[in-house]
Amino acid sequence: MSAKGYRNPVSPDPFAEPGWFHTDDLGALESGDSGVLTVLGRADEAISTGGFTVLPQPVEAALGTHPAVRDCAVFGLADDRLGQRVVAAIVVGDGCPPPTLEALRAHVARTLDVTAAPRELHVVNVLPRRGIGKVDRAALVRRFAGEADQ
């Protein structure tokens, strides 16, 4: 027996509309006539925290400008009060002391709303990556989910 598809698909078929491929990418068009589209991230990576939506990529860009951060990833973990909390995993640069959570929150808040600043910090030796080199956020969620409860 074989099936033609899913009984209750989790997401709509990206090929449902002829001539179009619907992705989960989020973007913004610049105002005016430039027509420039900036890809902001993916909808499935968005973090819903305290009624706000935080995209990981701008937070990672802000964290990446801190002198002690060599590499970083931002993701959401379940939170009873906020829905999700913003979490950062960082790789510290050679010879640098690990920054504190407070220092990184202040650093992010210089360029983004404080809502986007991480509420939890994990220092790691290396970030998990998928086959094409992208950070494996799902692996980070699995690794750190529940740690704050222990």
What pLDDT shows up at residue 55?
Answer: 95
Judged against a pLDDT cut of 60, whether residue 107 lies above it is answered with yes
Residue type, 124: V
Task: Find, among 71, 54, 53, the residue nearest to 63 by Cα.
Answer: 71
Average pLDDT over residues 9-35: 73
Give the pLDDT band (50/70/90) at residue 11. Answer: low
Q: Which CATH number belongs to the domain containing residue 53 in this structure? A: 3.30.300.30
Q: Assess if residue 3 is contained within a domain.
A: no
Judged against a pLDDT cut of 70, whether residue 121 lies above it is answered with yes
- Residue holding tokens 């998990």? 128
pLDDT digits (tens, 9 = 90+) for 39-74: 777 878 899 999 999 999 999 999 999 999 999 999
Which residues on adjacent β-strands are paired with residue 55? none
Domain count, the chain: 1
**Mean model confidence pLDDT for the chain:** 88
CB-based contacts of 122, cutoff 8 Å, min separation 6: 87, 88, 89, 90, 144
Q: Assess if residue 58 is contained within a domain.
A: yes
How far apart (Å, rounded) are the C-alpha atoms in residues 111 and 55?
14
Supply the range of the domain harboring residue 110. 44-149
Q: Assess if residue 22 is contained within a domain.
A: no
DSSP output for 62-93: HHTTSTTEEEEEEEEEEETTTEEEEEEEEEEP
Q: Assess if residue 34 is contained within a domain.
A: no
